[in-house]
Amino acid sequence: MIKRILLSLIMLLLIAYLVVAVTAFNKRPADRICSDMELAIKDSVNAGFITRQEIATLMHRKGIYPVGKKMDRIHTKSLERELNKHPLIDRAECYKTPSNKLCIEITQRVPVLRIMSNNGENYYIDNKGNIMPPESKCVAHLAIVTGEVEKSFATRYLHKFGVFLQQNDFWNAQVEQINVLPGKEIELVPRVGNHIVYLGKIDNFEEKLSRLRLFYEKALNQVGWNKYSRINLEFNNQIICTKRDSTDTARPQVKL
């Protein structure tokens, strides 16, 4: 009986010690001051829209710059909500460190196409099909979309083509311009080869480009990349080529 009582007392003392230790360890002074802000911007190579200075200026303007403020007055969720309102930010994550720093990780929206429509509209499309403003400078090379481009067509259909280009090194380097015709047929202006690629409707573009790449490798590497003025991929299981002659007109170009 005595041993059981002693054992119970020891267990109670142990539990009490653990509670006090954990409480003391987690106790943080109420007057802790934020000493620094660490800011990481992801996708800077592919996107390059936002700089650290721009984020700091934005936070100063909104009165949410954390350095010098008490740590318990800094609300990370509120900071995230404010930063996520920025049209070029896809996601912001904020957290505090035990060393009195605030860390912010910014994920930028990634553009996949530049739209320069005949109606004068000028904007980017990101990899989620959303419209981005044109005023920022993009670091990465993007194909330019010209012609009869409606925003609904760009966000619903063309963005998928842009994502495909972004994920495919060969076609991302080869496709310089996408021209949208009045019936929403698609023409491509390649970077290598003085010809126009006519896709027709944008449906099944991956299969069409797969045929074209095979044609490049098997045919154009043999006869020359400038032999044809037009390559038609509209129909299944065939490629129709128009030979170049003196009546060919220059391919469409875009001035930035």
Angle at 107 between CA 104 and CA 108, to 5 degrees: 130
**pLDDT above 80 for 240:** yes
Supply the pLDDT for residue 253: 39
Tens digits of per-residue pLDDT, 141-198? 789 999 999 999 999 999 999 999 999 999 999 999 999 999 999 999 999 988 999 9
Token digits of residue 231: 């390559």
For residues 244 and 195, which has the higher predicted lDDT (pLDDT)?
195
> What is the rounded CA–CA span in Å between residue 187 and residue 171?
14
Q: What is the dihedral of CA 157, 161, 166, 168, to 10 degrees?
A: 150
Q: Please, are residues 165 and 199 in contact by the beta-carbon 8 Å criterion? A: no
Fold of 111-243: Rossmann fold (3.40.50)
Rg of the chain, C-alpha, whole Å:
29
Give residue limits of the domains in the chain. Answer: 36-108, 111-243
> What is the rounded CA–CA span in Å between residue 77 and residue 216?
52
Mean pLDDT of the chain: 84
Give the E-state strand segments of the chain in sequence order. Answer: 36-42, 89-96, 101-108, 111-116, 122-126, 131-132, 143-147, 175-180, 186-190, 196-200, 228-232, 240-243
Longest dimension (CA), the chain: 112
CA atoms within 13 A on the CB side of 141: 11
Model confidence band, residue 51 (pLDDT cutoffs 50, 70, 90): confident
Query: Average pLDDT in the 87-115 region?
Result: 92
User: How big is the chain, counted in residues?
Assistant: 256
**pLDDT above 60 for 246:** no
Neighbours of 222 (CB within 10 A): 8
**pLDDT above 60 for 250:** no
Going by CATH, does the domain composed of 36-108 fall within 3.10.20? Answer: yes
> What is the rounded CA–CA span in Å between residue 216 and residue 1?
92
Supply the pLDDT for residue 50: 81
Beta bridge partners of 125: 113, 131
DSSP state of 137: P
CA atoms within 13 A on the CB side of 99: 5
DSSP state of 136: S
Query: Average pLDDT in the 32-46 region?
Result: 84
Token digits of residue 46: 């592919």
Supply the pLDDT for residue 39: 92
> What is the rounded CA–CA span in Å between residue 155 and residue 2?
79
